[in-house]
Amino acid sequence: MKPMRKMLAAATLAVALTTGMTVALNPAAAAGTTLKAAAAEKGRYFGAAVATGKLSTGAYTTILNREFNSVVAENEMKWASNEPQQGQFNHSGGDRLVSHAQANGMSVRGHTLLWHAQQPGWAQGMSGSALRNAAINHVTQVATHYRGKIHSWDVVNEAFADGGSGARRDSNLQRTGNDWIEAAFRAARAADPGAKLCYNDYNTDGINAKSTGIYNMVRDFKSRGVPIDCVGFQSHLGTSLAGDYQANLQRFADLGVDVQITELDVMTGGNQASIFGAVTRACLAVSRCTGITTWGVRDCDSWRGSDNALLFDCNGNKKAAYTAVLDALNGGSTPPTTPPPGSGVDTSAWYVLINRNSGKALDVYASATSDGARISQWSRNNGVNQQWQFVDSGSGYYRVKSRNSSKVLDVSGFSTADGGAIVQWSDLNGTNQQFRLANSADGYVRLINRNSNKAVEVQGASTADGGNVVQYADWGGNNQQWQLVRIG
């Protein structure tokens, strides 16, 4: 299958060359050789739950850093861990994980602000308005502490009952009143407006009474403007997979929320690899399924003990389940990415622009919304400050508009000099705000400014987060080439 695709791509390229077409082709992206690379090719993240104590174990961290570009704390961001005494917060474990993630270009899922389990003793003993106030304060304090550092928060975990009722689970939190979940989401939004806010649960792997109860809650939240952005499907699986797993993800996506596979692990046995593969394909088939997290790295790291439920064995070897996931990521339907060069861009779409040299995304530094704010590169996290829309200026030129600020890329002060700063500015449709797309190989483009005729580049071919973006004479360098990955 793969050699065939390569041959076809090569043949198409040869035809294009012999017929004298001037546009470069966009050959199928190369197969990723790690989970994170293969997932990134499809616009998804691939994550693992991490016990931060293991970060000092080389064999563990080697796999984590090689294969995963998202992490979640297995326990350290839970209530019992980070507020062991009321009002006394201990973020050391979570902070350690965030540092590791930032140093290694990984995004972070936050797990979890409120849950009936793993509560500190003091909260377990509370009820009524005292508990409600303590819970909302916990949400506010923790989300504020990590503000700007968390890609998605599991604001509430496991609040629905198992079985056929479709109702809420009884818990001390539930007994404070049915509105405790929406109160938590509102508090989380206020504390960290940039994080995606998720509801997360298990036994929701098909269309059943429990998932339908959650579905109805999400639909209600969306209709009333309660801030919710995503639903997490833990997917702690046995030896079979619900036939409507994908359909279930899709019906949530159709409500206007992202979906994520948040705690994937699968019972060992004959079906393990195929179930891992099927879950991966289901996610890829749902455009709003933005990523997959496995609940641990190696079998021996798993909370499921002898189930051997993960992708790596205890010696760190890749299992058949790993290969099934990697193959699914590489073979899954390719979401729209770079438009074929020469065909123009979709001006209704939102793109992340990935630099060819660094692999980092064009980013409004620190999510600034002011005129003159600098443009940098940053590890891709698909944040709104990394999303750009092409606004047609005619004659093949476009403004490049930030989703976060609605400002456009701008060569500061109409500079025509090498090294002239690229900033964001209110959209005046000036020629220093207009760029044409020049084709490089493999679907990459350079952005050439109309006023200066210089290319947008990562200064000094930096590969660091925060690397400066400037204009420079167009010489076709990798640091001047950008991949337009359509994400919305």
Q: Is 263 in the site for ligand XIL (CB under 6 A)?
A: yes
Minimum gap (Å) between residue 234 Cβ and ligand XIL:
6
3-state SS, residue 402: strand
CA distance 400 to 424: 9
Q: Which is nearer to ligand XIL, 83 or 263 (CB)?
A: 263
At residue 266, the 3 state secondary structure works out as: strand
Count of residues in contact with ligand XIL, rule CB under 6 A: 7
In the complex with ligand XIL, the residue whose CB is nearer, 73 or 445, is 73
**Residue among 157 and 385 whose Cβ is closer to ligand XIL:** 157
Nearer to ligand XIL, 108 or 408 (CB): 108
Residue at 185: amino acid letter? F
Which of 448, 454, 457, 453 is CA-nearest to residue 480?
A: 457
**Which residues in 293-352 contact ligand XIL (CB under 6 A)?**
303
Measured from the CB of residue 75, what is the shortest distance to ligand XIL in angstroms? 5
Q: How far apart are CA 118 and CA 242, in angstroms?
A: 29
The two three-digit tokens of residue 95, written as one number:
């902070």
What does 62-82 look like in DSSP terms, one character per residue?
HHHHHH-SEEEESSTTSHHHH
Tokens 């933005």 -> residue: 290
The active-site residue, picked from 67, 158, 182, 457, is 158
Q: CB of residue 114 vs ligand XIL: minimum separation in angstroms?
A: 12
3-state SS string for 286-329: CCCEEEEEECCCEHHHCCCHHHCCCCECCCCCECHHHHHHHHHH
Q: How far is the CB of 301 from ligand XIL (least distance, A)?
A: 9
Q: Taking CB positions, which residue lies at the least distance from ligand XIL?
A: 303
Of 234 and 260, which CB lies nearer to ligand XIL in the complex structure? 234
Shorter beta-carbon distance to ligand XIL: residue 294 or 440: 294
Residue recorded with tokens 């750009």: 388
Closest distance to ligand XIL from the beta carbon of 111 (Å): 6
Q: Which residue has the tokens 């308005």?
A: 129
- Quick note: the x/- pattern for ligand XIL over 425-444, rule CB under 6 A, is --------------------
Q: How far apart are CB 433 and ligand XIL at their closest, in Å?
A: 46
Q: How far apart are the first and last CA of the chain?
A: 29
Spatial distance between the Cα atoms of 204 and 209, rounded to a whole number of angstroms? 9
Among 83, 182, 263, 457, which one carries the catalytic annotation? 263
Question: Residues 126, 128, 132, 134: is their CA dihedral positive or negative?
Answer: negative
**Interaction with ligand XIL in 84-143: which residues (CB under 6 A)?**
none
Strands 107-115 and 152-157: parallel
Of 166, 148, 157, nearest to 212 (Cα)? 166
The least CB distance from residue 78 to ligand XIL, in Å, is: 7
Half-sphere exposure at residue 265, Cβ-oriented, CA atoms within 13 angstroms:
24
User: One symbol per residue from 188 to 207: x for binding ligand XIL (CB under 6 A), - otherwise; what is it?
Assistant: --------------x-----
Cα separation of 217 and 167, whole Å?
10
Strands 469-472 and 455-458: antiparallel
Which helix (H) or strand (E) is 364 found in, with range?
A: strand 361-364
* 76 tagged catalytic: no
The helix-helix angle for 245-253 and 272-285 (nearest 10°) equals: 30
CB of 74 to ligand XIL, least distance (A): 5
Reply yes or no on whether 182 is catalytic: no
Closer of 75 and 308 to ligand XIL (Cβ): 75
Among the listed residues 13, 138, 23, the one whose alpha carbon sits nearest the alpha carbon of residue 78: 138
Q: Which residue's CB is nearer to ligand XIL, number 77 or number 326?
A: 77
Minimum Å gap between C-beta 303 and ligand XIL is 3
Give the residue ranges of DSSP H helices in 192-295: 209-224, 245-253, 272-285
Q: Which is nearer to ligand XIL, 294 or 479 (CB)?
A: 294
Q: H or E stretch including 448? A: strand 445-449
Which residues form the catalytic set?
158, 263
| Contact residues for ligand XIL, defined by CB under 6 A | 74-75, 157, 202, 234, 263, 303
